[in-house]
Structure 1
Amino acid sequence: MQKLFFKTAVTAAVVCFSSMALAQQKYSVSGTVKDHKNGELLIGVTVKVSEDPSVSVVANEYGFYSLSLPEGSYTLIVSYPGYRDFELPVKVEQNTKLDLPLDQEEKGDERVGKIDEVVISGIKKDKNLTSAQMGTETLSIKNIEKLPVLFGEKDVMKTIQLLPGIKSNGEGSSGFSVRGGATDQNLILLDEAPVYNASHLLGFFSTFNSDALKDASIIKGNSPAQYGGRLSSVMDVKMKDGNNKDYNVNGGIGLISSRLSVEGPIQKEKSSFIVSGRRTYADLFLKTSDDYKDSKLYFYDLNLKANYQINENNRLYLSGYFGRDVLGLGDTFSTDWGNTTATLRWNSIINSKLFSNTSLIYSNYNYKISLKSNDNTFGLNSQIEDWNLKQDFTWFAGNKHSVRFGLQSIHHTITPSSASGTSVSSFPRNPRKSWENAMYINDDFKVSDKLTVNYGLRLSAFSILGGDTYNTYDNGVITESRFLEKDKFGKTYFNLEPRITANYRINEVSSIKAGYSRNTQNLHLLSNSSSGNPTDQWIGSSYSVKPEIADQISAGYSRNFNHNNYELNAEIYYKSMLNQIDFKNGAQITFDTAADVESELLYGKGRAYGLELIAKKKSGRLTGWISYTLSKTERKINGINDNEWYNARMDKTHDLSVVATYELNKKWSLSGLFLYSTGNAVTFPTAKYELNGQTIFQYSSRNADRMPAYHRMDLSATYEPESTKRFKGSWSFGIYNLYGRENAYTITFEDNPNNPGTTRAMQTSLFRWVPNITYNFKF
């Protein structure tokens, strides 16, 4: 079936576009776009023809572009925010390979203040009016450092939570919810490798060290067909390639963490590397106390990347990430968790129109817990490991079509939570293996000067592999049990996933958009908390657990003002979801040999709908944006809430972010942000009774209550003294939660000691005021 689909899709694409090539003899002008200073390939650069502005292309995520032009003389205009516009005359008489260098704008440039966007950038200034892609934001790594964040650590994960439709899962948490989806419904990629837990220190930091990153973008549901495996969003993060012309060192020293990056050429202008490391040292402060001198509380991470240009058409990349969190209290308790990823990638320019990317990817996430009390010991561990092969082609089939097609194959090995020790019966769990495959085709079609359509189709298949016993349940009761022998195939789930978005440009300053997409998900995270914990358990689709499916429709309106320096975007969406998972009432997750977490699960449907607004000021001394989301997220699962609709944990009615940066002068800039959101949906007790001297609380409707509303204000100032040719330094000063709002992290209930017949609620808050000072340097 897969072979038939692939042949049919490719044949259809060839027939559809071949007529274009016959219409007129055209030649290709193609190549890569690079940063002239350091050789980094640039993503999303616009290349257009001065003589015919309707002829333009956007370089793909590997910096490759291709134009089709009749014989003649032309002037190419290359533009990218933060870089000087570049014009180049070219005479087209045959297929021509032309690499394009761009120079970064410096502070002294006359145009810097006019075009440099503060955080949401890396795109041409009217792309919101011309691109068919919906719900997509690209983040400028360069300017994230200006925003005030917790502990002064610049962080792409915190920044995306300031955008509409993307909601934080809690104070200090790196987990987020997109358009009503759970945390696990976000596909997070680092150099194409999936990252299964993107947080450090229980969510106060993310796994992404911004010093090592080149580009980050997030797509809210309407992703092109090359992405799959999650229902709600794709966050695609790419690491820097490394400077292939000169050596650079940069880093930062903060109150509780420091970082250092080194990059440079291996062979000048042919190969390069980057090594970036980061570590917290909160544990060093603990050692000053006799009570905590044996405690551990830190994380570290390391980003590595190297590339080698084989020849002008072929380049190899090798990148890796290693990160670990360690928490411990002497010999009595310890826990550690972390990610390891590696990507080996081969980029090949097959011809002037066809670009190939082949990737072999490894990803591993695991955690370990150890407890010791007197002579009793307890250990718990779990792991998810992937081997992934991707083959992707980009075909520039004329100036109106950019076609992506390819395939992907992933082998999953999930080891469920396994316990051992003297306090429990040791039972190593059998790893569960599965094989996930997909093939896809996607076309970005410029129908006319006003209409652009992005459409595609993805065929996914998820196969259960042998080596374990699989049970089927009906309301927690086993109805069938089967053992699959090792290397045997069990059930396979096939799903077709169509996607289409369209943009119609009404006039020079406004456009409307609409889209539909279907996404499926075969890996599921079981969590009892809204913010997520390192020990949350991943499971794959099985005989009981079906693939989750989401259908999303959306529509939007965009309008720009004052020569594209102001921007207003509005989108509405409705998403219906099938095979949603939740724990049954009173679920018992135990560590005994008979325990099977699937027996505690129930399944049903969900829905999410809302309005997203964002207004941006993109130039001048004052820049920033205001975003607002009005939304509703619900689930309906038989066995929960009398089989009626109930609020999902991540449901928040209102979510507001105000972000601003003001350039006082060449040395000083000020930044601030204000956040407000409705509290998370939770379940509070409605009654209590006493049994054998213990108070037992009773609960009614699932998630019928609310945490208190969340709001805070952060401020920061950045000082950049005059730099020398080789050295540049800056100071960042900030305060998190300026007016000391005690936002609720948890609320627990207990008997009132002064009146045992009554109950009191106890609120835990994490931060009132958190100052930070960070020194950043580069040479």
Structure 2
Amino acid sequence: MLKSLLVLLFLLFNFSADAQKVFLSGFVKEAGSKQPVSGALLRFPAIEKEFYSDKNGYFKIALDKGICQVLISYPGFQERSISLSIRQNQQEIFYLTSDAAQLKEVTISSTKGSVMQSNLNNFSLLKQADLKNAPGFLGVSDVIKTIQTLPGSGNGGEGNAGLFVRGGGSGQNLVLFNHAVIYNPSHLLGFFSVFNSDAVGEVKFYKSGIPAEYGGRLSSVVDIQSDQQIADSLLVDGELSVLAAKINLKIPITSKWSVATTMRKTFMNYSVWPIVNKFSADEESGNKLNYDFYDLNFSTALALTKKDKLFAAFYVGGDDFGLKMIRFDIANGMKWQNSAASLKWNRMISNQLNLETVASYSGYRFSFGMKQEGLEVGVHSAITDFNYSSTLKAYFGAHQLKAGLSMIQHKFVPNTPSSKNKFMEFDYGKPNTYMADETAVFLSDDFKFSERLSVYAGLRMTYYRHKGPYSTTASDGLVTTVASGKTVSDTFFMEPGLTVKYHLNNSTALKFAYSRNVQTIHLIPISASNFPSDFWIPSVSQIPPEKGNQYSLGIFKEWADAGYEGYVDLYFRDMKNIVEFSGGLMNLSNSVKIEDHVFLGKGSSYGSELYFKKTKGRFTGHISYTISKSDRTFEGLNEGYTFPFKYDRTHDLTAVANYKLQANWSLSALFTLATGNAYTKPISRYLIAGNVINEYGAYNAARMPTYHRMDLSATHQFPAKGKYQSFLSLSVYNVYSRKNPIFNYYIARGSLTTGKVSIQERSIALLPILPSINYKIVFK
């Protein structure tokens, strides 16, 4: 495979395009600020073709020699019509002027041709308008929940914080927020993500053919960027609901410098949870919930020169969750916090060269505690990352080249136990700590052979090192210690990627994508429930990096005039060195080394994804459906036989609909249905020495009930009053109050003395039907 890739790269750099074609390239920028315009539409009426500028405002188009007319447009700007005489490869800069008369009414929606422009480039592109059009939990739009409406990217059920892409685990997704890694991207057990939609500019979601500049995960990449444009006017908006209050500010300091901040704080302990607890207040199986969270975003954009721009971003958010199981008199509590910071310098060296340099920090903290009859036990974990990357982008003729360097320093403290009772607190000694670093270089070329055929080829090469301080204990009790900074183990690996796109005509295309991915850090699944109680550790001698290959083949189609688009995509994935923990959460309470208690296995998944979207008219929306199979094989589990992955979902269907009822009223609905999660069920029980002993069936052979739910919402836009605009949203979550359980448990009734015991299955479901009301006001 590597030899073939190197030959292909050689061909890409030396292949000559059709002699009759020339390339028009350049940038679309704002006339005043000279900032790039991302997603500007360039239309060529004579040849009936359309193209879009990328995130740097860059475009490149193959044209026939001669005179051509180009129309450049973008919402909120005046359309430009330009006539060009194209005789040879040439570059242009097109400037767009703001249309003040349109700015008050413009609505930015998904651009026509998005299937051809984004999915064909291996990512789904979501703008802020896409997030706001999707029904959210209690009326709040959300990035991760919107991604979960796309095919192949389901969630793990009610109250699950994970994103499960094409049969992969939740720890196999790289989630970036302004280039900083977010280790737990969810608030409220998955009902919200940590990304306040007001702080999101655009989202790129990769689930196949992951580009070479990204590394470290097997399944997908979620690359979230804030709006990095320099604000030219003051913007203030606030929102109040039964769930939370939030405020969003954009403040121009000078014509070349602006700052922005968004803040959100919930007060559900005084609104939502008293209602939920009332619905579940029975003496036998009731539970009492309490939960709140906050998050804060800050960013600033500064144009140093016409060619140099700085962008800095900071995020911090925290969660506090409690669940009291009344029957067992058990109080569980969890707290977790994400923090991230990044500084990016973008240097436009020339029209052909662009250099982007980023330094970032990521932090994550998690703690779990349980109280019962005077005993308190807990486990704590922490992660700290420092990352540096530099990427050079070059545009030469038919080539779009990228080359770069990335360096990461990891520190993991995965399981620090604590316990105490009324009389004493236990000492567990020094916590387990893991240090690691990785250095990668990457190179890629996106080359357009002709109007119909284009090829992307990339290669990422990584050196990974686990370093001290670290100690191991041999079977004979001999302890080996490695000093701080010294290498414990290391490895070198390469990750090639290839995507081939072929246009059958202007509206239909085929795409084949292949990528080999390696993951050097592992999310260790601890709990069978849906709570965020899992732990991260890096690869060590006993746990090598996870490796996987993915192949996909799809056909993509759009009916531009009618406003429809869709695709069918087939995929296959194989994985090895995936991990399962041999114990449970409380097994960590004595500071065990996790690497001594894991199973290594392999997995595979395959399926078909279908997607259909309507983008024009009063009624818009999309339907996504995935039929798939995902399994795992571990020598130490299920006697070595293959079993279904916990989140294997044979069927996963989502439908999203939006309807413009009147000029100031809009309605939206979401319906989702999916096969229930797999789990291992007790099939019989024995009474031995006065104790009930469970005998379990085949591993993950049972299924939770089918998951389904419907949400509805309505939004009213009040008439604008000067610079003020307000909105009122009404929403209902889980309209028909479906009880989707998060886990099952069993109650024994009767007497062990007489030997007459009956076992009854019970389940815990978090949320019944929940109505909500939101009020938002915007000042410009």
Tell me which interval the TM-score lies in, with the shorter structure as reference length: 0.7 to 0.9
CA distance in 2, matches of 1:518, 1:760: 47
Choose which of 666, 672, 675 in structure 2 pairs with 1:675: 672
* C-alpha displacement of 1:543: 0.2
How far 1:203 moved relative to its partner?
Answer: 2.5
- Note closer, same or farther for the CA distance 1:580–1:480 as it changes in structure 2 (3 Å cut): farther
Query: Within 2, Cα distance between the matches of 1:498 and 1:700?
Result: 41
Q: How does 1:157-556 map to 2 (within 5 A)?
A: 157-241=144-228, 244-268=231-255, 270-284=256-270, 297-327=291-321, 335-369=334-368, 378-398=377-397, 400-422=398-420, 423-470=425-472, 482-529=480-527, 532-556=530-554
Cα 1:585–1:277 shift into 2, 3 Å: closer
Of the three residues 585, 589, 592, the one matched with 1:591 is 589
Amino acid at match of 2:390: Q
Query: How far off its partner does 1:677 sit?
Result: 0.5
CA 1:480–1:229 in 2, change beyond 3 Å: closer, same or farther?
farther
Q: CA deviation at 1:75?
A: 4.7
Q: How does 1:41-190 map onto structure 2 within 5 Å?
A: 41-47=36-42, 58-65=52-59, 75-79=69-73, 85-88=79-82, 97-100=93-96, 117=109, 121=110, 123=111, 125-129=112-116, 133=120, 135-190=122-177
Do 1:38 and 1:244's aligned partners in 2 also have CA atoms closer than 8 Å?
no
Q: Deviations over 1:431-452 (max 9, x none)?
A: 2110112111122221111112
Q: Is residue 29 of structure 2 the alignment partner of residue 30 of structure 1? A: no
Alpha carbons 1:172, 1:205 under 8 Å: kept: no
Number of aligned residue pairs: 753
After superposition, what is the alpha-carbon deviation per residue over 1:664-690, rounded to whole angstroms, capped at 9, x for unaligned? Answer: 110111111111110001111112123
Q: Relative to 1, partners in 2 of residues 1:762 and 1:421: Cα closer, same or farther, differing over 3 Å?
A: closer
- 1:351 aligned counterpart, secondary structure: coil
Distance 1:718 1:38 in 2: 34
Offset of residue 485 of structure 1: 1.1
SS at match of 2:662: coil
Letter of the structure 1 residue corresponding to residue 215 of structure 2: G
d(CA) in 1 for partners of 2:370 and 2:741?
29
Contact 1:530 1:650 in 2 (8 A): no
SS at match of 1:456: strand
> Where does residue 567 of structure 1 map in the other structure?
565
Q: Which moved more, 1:80-89 or 1:760-769?
A: 80-89
Range that drifts further, 255-264 or 140-149? 140-149
Contact 2:649 2:674 in 1 (8 A): yes
User: What is the identity, as a one-letter code, of the residue corresponding to 1:364?
Assistant: G
d(CA) in 2 for partners of 1:351 and 1:660?
44
Preserved CA contact (<8 Å) 1:17 1:397: no
Q: Which amino acid aligns with 1:205?
A: F
Change in Cα spacing, 1:133 to 1:353, as seen in structure 2 (3 Å) is same
Relative to structure 1, is the Cα distance of residues 103 and 726 closer, same or farther in structure 2, using a 3 angstrom cutoff?
same
d(CA) in 1 for partners of 2:622 and 2:272? 40
Quick check: 277-286 or 200-209, which moved more? 277-286
Deviation at 1:376? 6.2
Which amino acid is the alignment partner of residue 734 of structure 1? Answer: S
Q: Do 2:517 and 2:548's aligned partners in 1 also have CA atoms closer than 8 Å?
A: yes
Q: Name the CA shift for 1:25/1:511 in 2 (closer, same or farther; >3 Å).
A: closer
C-alpha distance 395-211 of structure 1, shift in aligned 2 (>3 A): same
Q: 1:447 to 1:373 in 2, by over 3 A?
A: same
Partner-residue secondary structure (3-state), 1:152 = coil
**What TM-score do the two structures reach when normalised by structure 1?**
0.88
5+ residue gaps, structure 1, are none
2:327 is matched with none
Counterpart secondary structure, 1:142: helix
Do the aligned partners of 1:425 and 1:592 also contact (CA within 8 Å) in 2? no
Task: Pick closer, same or farther for the CA change 1:27–1:700 going to 2, 3 Å.
Answer: closer
1:60: Cα distance to partner?
A: 3.5
Q: Structure 2 counterpart of 1:591, which letter?
A: S
Are the equivalent residues in 2 in contact too, given 1:131–1:503 (CA < 8 A)? no
Check conservation: 1:585, 1:640, Cα contact below 8 A.
no
Output the CA distance in 2 between the equivalents of 1:510 and 1:559: 5
Task: State the secondary structure of the residue aligned to 2:210.
Answer: coil
Residue 397 of structure 1: how far off its partner (Å): 1.3
* Structure 1 Cα separation of the partners of residues 77 and 687 of structure 2: 70
**Deviation of 1:262 (Å):** 0.6
Q: CA deviation at 1:469?
A: 1.5
In the alignment, the residues of structure 1 paired with residue 394 and residue 226 of structure 2 have an alpha-carbon distance, to the nearest angstrom, of: 24
> Which letter does structure 2 place at the counterpart of 1:323?
G
CA RMSD of aligned residues (A): 3.8
Q: AA paired with 1:43? A: S
Per-residue CA deviation, residues 146-190 of structure 1 (Å, 9 max, x unaligned), is 332222211111111111101111114342100000000111110
How high is the TM-score relative to the length of structure 2? 0.88
Bigger shift: 637-646 or 580-589? Answer: 580-589
Amino-acid identity (%):
32
Describe the shift of the 1:611–1:377 C-alpha distance in structure 2 as closer, same or farther (beyond 3 A): closer
- Amino acid paired to 2:539: S
Residues 373 and 14 (structure 1), Cα distance of their counterparts in 2 relative to 1, 3 Å cut:
same
Greater CA deviation, 85-94 or 455-464?
A: 85-94
Moved more, 201-210 or 676-685: 201-210
Give the stretch that moved more between structures: 741-750 or 522-531. Answer: 522-531
2: CA distance between counterparts of 1:675 and 1:607?
25
SS in 2 for 1:695: strand
Matched with 1:740 is: 737
CA distance in 1, matches of 2:706, 2:367: 35
Change (3 A) 1:713 1:24: closer
Match of 2:757 in 1: 757
Deviations 1:210-256 (Å, cap 9, x if unpaired)?
01110012111321111111111101111123652110101211102
| Aligned CA distance change for structure 1 residues 690 and 421 (closer, same or farther; 3 Å) | same
- Residue 686 of structure 2 is aligned to residue 700 of structure 1: no
**Is the alpha carbon distance of 1:61 and 1:157 closer, same or farther for their aligned partners in structure 2, counting shifts above 3 Å?**
same
Q: Is 2:766 aligned against 1:766? A: yes
